């Protein structure tokens, strides 16, 4: 059989969020940087993303990453992130999956007890510190590109929720940030469907009413995610809080979300709730956690920004090959509203 595509995939999750890692079969993707390569895929070969993530081979809660050589002299490897409806510039859980796969599968040499990596994401260089023991990556801590706030205490008009207060923050993706208690949510797993239904409505309204443009790069996507934030509390002197991010087309991130955590660090610092170097534990709707802190302060264009550091763990759980028979009627996958809910923003 001459397959049209033949992809080698390592299945991985980071604190419960699936991040499949494609390590072979893609070939060369044109572009000097990972951002260039992601744009090329979006415009010229989106079938690859749909093949892996949509049905019958994928599922709405899956993400995927393509591991590629980097042209940057400081990076050991690069990666492109693919989700159900977009190619994010950055993803924390996916970065943890990529780093774990690179080291545990010997693609990049592992040194115990600590391996330091520099990876090129579409958002830029990401420095990663992996704690390793007996061939296993036991912790992945990455320093993200700077996070900042576009809007604080802005108002979004939504039918049934007049004058809804929101913040808009960037942490690798751009998030609408809302207080869960303001909308009557406790962020329990039983609320997940209602959180997603309302979250998608707020996200669309915010994107229409509150324009954003990333400084120096107008091709960076605007608002694509929504974060419901639980209240801050202190446990043993450490700040902690629950959250969930609504990922399009309408499902909850199973992890605490690395880019969402970065965006929340920027908001917490602007509010005076978190100092540089102070630890913060972010909990997901499933109960998993990331340990976060602000490494330093900087600026992105006109915006004051923080440098976030996020730590968690990823686990390899399977190995597979995704092949495409030339006669297969679903070369770009498909989706049904019984599980994908909102199909309007699925590309293709």
Domains of the chain with bracketed CATH: 5-140+315-340 (3.10.310.10), 147-312 (3.10.310.10)
Helix (H, G, I), strand (E, B) or coil at 27: coil
Return the pLDDT at 347: 52
pLDDT digits (tens, 9 = 90+) for 287-327: 999 999 999 999 999 999 999 999 999 999 999 999 999 99
pLDDT digits (tens, 9 = 90+) for 246-270: 999 999 999 999 999 999 999 999 9
Kind plus residue range of the DSSP H or E element containing 345: none
Q: What are phi and psi of 94, to 5 degrees?
A: -65, -35
pTM confidence score: 0.96
CB 206, CB 236: distance < 8 Å: no
What's the CA gap between 93 and 173, in Å, rounded? 13
In the annotation, is 169 catalytic?
no
Residue pointed to by tokens 């900042």: 148
pLDDT digits (tens, 9 = 90+) for 12-46: 999 999 999 999 999 999 999 999 999 999 999 99
The single residue of 84, 91, 248, 261 carrying the catalytic annotation is 91
């Amino acid at each position: 059989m001459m397959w049209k595509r033949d992809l080698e995939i390592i299945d991985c999750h980071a604190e419960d969020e699936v991040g499949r890692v494609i390590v072979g079969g893609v070939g060369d993707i044109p572009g000097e940087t990972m951002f260039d390569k992601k744009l090329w895929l979006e415009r010229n070969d989106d079938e690859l993303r749909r093949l892996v993530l949509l049905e019958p081979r994928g599922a709405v809660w899956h993400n995927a990453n393509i591991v590629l050589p980097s042209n940057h002299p400081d990076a050991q490897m690069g990666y492109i992130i693919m989700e159900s409806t977009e190619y994010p510039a950055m993803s924390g859980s996916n970065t943890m999956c990529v780093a774990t796969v690179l080291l545990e599968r010997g693609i990049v040499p592992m040194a115990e007890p600590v391996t330091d990596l520099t990876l090129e994401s579409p958002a830029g260089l990401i420095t990663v510190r992996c704690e390793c023991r007996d061939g296993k990556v036991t912790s992945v801590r990455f320093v993200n590109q700077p996070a900042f706030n576009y809007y604080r205490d802005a108002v979004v008009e939504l039918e049934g929720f007049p004058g809804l207060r929101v913040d808009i923050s960037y942490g690798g993706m751009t998030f609408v940030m809302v207080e869960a208690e303001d909308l009557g949510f406790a962020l329990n797993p039983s609320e997940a469907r209602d959180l997603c239904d309302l979250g998608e409505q707020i996200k669309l309204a915010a994107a229409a009413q509150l324009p954003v443009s990333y400084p120096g790069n107008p091709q960076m996507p605007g608002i694509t995610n929504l974060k419901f934030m639980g209240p801050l509390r202190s446990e043993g002197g450490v700040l902690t809080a629950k959250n969930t991010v609504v990922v399009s087309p309408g499902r909850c991130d199973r992890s605490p979300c690395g880019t969402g955590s970065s965006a929340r660090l920027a908001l917490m610092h602007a509010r005076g709730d978190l100092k540089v170097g102070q630890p913060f534990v972010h909990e997901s709707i499933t109960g998993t956690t990331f340990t976060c802190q602000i490494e330093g302060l900087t600026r992105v264009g006109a915006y004051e920004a923080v440098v976030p550091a996020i730590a968690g763990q990823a686990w390899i759980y399977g190995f597979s090959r995704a092949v495409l028979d030339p006669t297969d009627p679903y070369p770009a996958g498909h989706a049904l509203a019984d599980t994908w809910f909102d199909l309007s923003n699925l590309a293709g």
